[in-house]
Amino acid sequence: MKILLSAVLLAAFSASPAFAAKMQPCTGEAMGKSITAMGTVDSPAKQAMAKEMASANSEMSKANMRGACKHYMKAQKMSAK
């Protein structure tokens, strides 16, 4: 079920090639890289992204990958702006 949901999300975002090229897969490894790449939280935008990433991490610890991916996608959209 989780794989199907991930595939549907990726397919929906692949309709826009520019947007899809910036999106990372919803995996623990990709989330870790995103957190590392964020660096210091020195602006309100980065603070909002950090909050979404913290929420994603919390959902992952509850084994709720759907919720984690939702927060991770929000953080990625914020970084694209």
Tens digit of pLDDT for each residue in 15-38? 444 444 456 777 778 777 777 777
Instruction: Please report the sign of the dihedral spanned by the C-alpha atoms of residue 65, residue 5, residue 48, residue 39.
Output: positive
* Mean pLDDT for the chain overall: 74
pLDDT of residue 37: 75
Position 47 pLDDT exceeds 60: yes
